[in-house]
Amino acid sequence: MSSVETLLPEEIERIRNDFPLLERRIGDHQLIYLDSGATAQRPISVLDAVQEFDEMRNAAVHRGAHTLAGEATELFEEARHKVASFVGADDDEIAWTKNATEALNAVAYGFVNATAGRGGEAAQRFVLRPGDEIVVTEMEHHANLVPWQEVAAHTGATLRYIPLSDNGALDMDAAEGLIGEHTRVLAFTHVSNVLGTINQVGRLVELAQAAGAYTVLDACQSAPHLPLDLHALGVDFAAFSGHKMLGPTGVGALYGRSELLNALPPFITGGSMITTVTMEHTDFMPAPTRFEAGTQMVAQAVGFGAAADYLSHIGLDRIAAHEHALGQRLAEGVSQIPGVRLLGPAAGVDRAGMVSVDVDGVHAHDVGQFLDDRGIAVRVGHHCAQPVHRRYGVTASTRASVYLYTTEAEVDAFLNGLSDVRGFFGADR
Ligand code: PLP
């Protein structure tokens, strides 16, 4: 990390000028946006790309003989190329989805449909039977847990999970014991959206490959923040969302190794994803089109492409270095506040640019309200990850998460606010 040049303060100021929303005031206070882990703000280049598309080029893609349809299709496919390159994938390995949740469901229900006999010979490889095991982790976002529970219920496969150690890391000894001859799928997050833990993708992929299992990577909290090369990581499938990486809502991406994506039965069917349809039977297009049924979110995809451009221009390695420093500042800062417990890796351990904390005697919602009164936007609740909260004996936490536009001063304002919370609510007596 340290060998990479980080973002300089004057550069961050310039970056901030690209984000109109960061000028907002909340009551008497300047907004301090520390909720990028939920959704990131958008730079002018993304807002402009979407607006330009809507104003001048709006048309449905892939099916019009007219000029507008041609232009829209070109922009749509150009955006796919930008997003694919951004994560080290080939263009035909990226299918647009509504969000990461839909992408993860596309993989999960591909297994369900294959098991139900759909997809012919090619899909046989995805058939699951009783005795087969799907392995997830205890730190999964519900988006990468609930679909696998559904797969297990539909197929008779067993769901198992890699537990967590007290310091917020995956218990890798347990992982080695769990991943074995019965494992057919290993689905895991790259970065925990609660703990900030960065998982050992390489080692997990090795274990899965040795067991002959498919890997599904939830890259929601890594694609926006870390340089990502999906080919180099060797995962079979991955999912991420546009809105967490400066893009619009309503668009996400499903990655699948070409050979696999072409064999996986689609789970949303209808127009645009077919080659021939008779009253009795339908043949599907190859990937990625077989996963893009119905009229597509073209403006959003174009915005997603512009977001990938914006991030690439600054450099993910530099963004990661900046966030690493802020993540350490957050972790060190919260661990010095009496009555505040940091969930996840301690300061000093490599972690993402976020912290989730439990404030003794004050509910997370009150912490969030108190901070909002100072213009500080944080996330409170279970962050769609109840099991990981249960693991650490809490039902909710307060999460501050940073991005490339976050300053040290903003982190310090959060830490100051957090220091005052217990006193304000009389929880320090
Ligand atoms: N996985 C992780 C780790 C996340 O943080 C999120 C969003 O918070 C998701 C999955 C789901 O993303 P989306 O709601 O964009 O589908």
pLDDT digits (tens, 9 = 90+) for 314-337: 999 999 999 999 999 999 999 999
Ligand 1 centre to CA of 141 (Å) is 7
pLDDT digits (tens, 9 = 90+) for 3-29: 789 999 999 999 999 999 999 999 999
CA distance 114 to 106: 12
CA 244 to ligand 1: nearest atom: 15
Taking 90 as the threshold, does the pLDDT of residue 212 lie above it?
yes
Residues 418-427, mean pLDDT to the nearest whole number: 97
Q: Which of 220, 249, 304 to mutate to test the pocket of ligand 1 (most atoms within 8 A of CB)?
A: 220
Q: Whole-number mean pLDDT of the chain?
A: 97
Active-site residues: which are they?
A: 384
Nearest CA to 199 out of 232, 172, 229, 231 is that of: 172
Q: Are 386 and 141 in contact (CB under 8 A)?
A: no
CA distance 84 to 80: 6
Whether the pTM exceeds 0.85: the reply is yes
Taking 70 as the threshold, does the pLDDT of residue 237 lie above it?
yes
**Can you read off the two tokens belonging to residue 255?**
């990655």
pLDDT score for 4: 82
Evaluated on CA atoms 259, 263, 269, 274, the torsion sign reads positive
CA distance 292 to 261: 12
Ligand 1 centre to CA of 390 (Å) is 19
CA distance 91 to 241: 17
Ligand 1 centre to CA of 101 (Å) is 7
pLDDT score for 64: 79
Nearest CA to 109 out of 222, 269, 252 is that of: 269
Ligand 1 binding pocket includes 222 (Cβ within 6 Å) = no
Ligand 1 binding pocket includes 189 (Cβ within 6 Å) = yes
- Domains in the chain, ordered, with CATH? 9-42+315-424 (3.90.1150.10), 49-312 (3.40.640.10)
pLDDT score for 292: 98
Nearest CA to ligand 1 atom 12: 100
pLDDT score for 381: 96
pLDDT score for 105: 98
Ligand 1 binding pocket includes 100 (Cβ within 6 Å) = yes
Taking 70 as the threshold, does the pLDDT of residue 1 lie above it?
no
Q: Which of 193, 217, 222, 251 to mutate to test the pocket of ligand 1 (most atoms within 8 A of CB)?
A: 193
- Pairing between β-strand 133-137 and β-strand 25-26 as defined by DSSP bridges: unpaired
Taking 60 as the threshold, does the pLDDT of residue 47 lie above it?
yes
Ligand 1 centre to CA of 426 (Å) is 35
pLDDT score for 98: 98
CA distance 354 to 352: 6
> Hey, which residues does 164 pair with through a beta bridge?
170
CA distance 50 to 55: 9
Residues 227-236, mean pLDDT to the nearest whole number: 98
Share of the chain above pLDDT 70, in %: 100
Ligand 1 binding pocket includes 137 (Cβ within 6 Å) = no
Ligand 1 centre to CA of 278 (Å) is 38
Ligand 1 binding pocket includes 143 (Cβ within 6 Å) = yes
Ligand 1 centre to CA of 384 (Å) is 8
CA 191 to ligand 1: nearest atom: 3
CA 103 to ligand 1: nearest atom: 16
Nearest CA to ligand 1 atom 5: 193
The model's confidence at residue 30, banded by pLDDT at 50, 70 and 90, is very high
Helix, strand, coil shares of the chain as percentages rounded to 5? 45, 20, 40
pLDDT score for 241: 98
The model's confidence at residue 217, banded by pLDDT at 50, 70 and 90, is very high
**In Å, how far from its chain's centre is CA 275?**
32
Residues 204-228, mean pLDDT to the nearest whole number: 98
Q: How far is CA 26 from CA 31, 41, 122, 318, 371, in A?
A: 6, 16, 55, 30, 11
CA distance 73 to 64: 9
Ligand 1 binding pocket includes 35 (Cβ within 6 Å) = no
Return the CA Rg of the chain: 22
pLDDT digits (tens, 9 = 90+) for 367-402: 999 999 999 999 999 999 999 999 999 999 999 999
Beta carbons within 8 Å of 74's beta carbon, 6+ residues apart? none
Instruction: Look at the chain and count its residues.
Output: 429
CA distance 328 to 323: 8
pLDDT score for 323: 98
Ligand 1 centre to CA of 225 (Å) is 14
pLDDT score for 429: 87
Q: Which of 35, 96, 98, 101 to mutate to test the pocket of ligand 1 (most atoms within 8 A of CB)?
A: 101
Ligand 1 binding pocket includes 170 (Cβ within 6 Å) = no
Q: Measure the CA angle with vertex 11, ends 7 and 17; round to 5°.
A: 130
CA distance 222 to 394: 25
pLDDT digits (tens, 9 = 90+) for 286-315: 999 999 999 999 999 999 999 999 999 999
pLDDT score for 158: 98
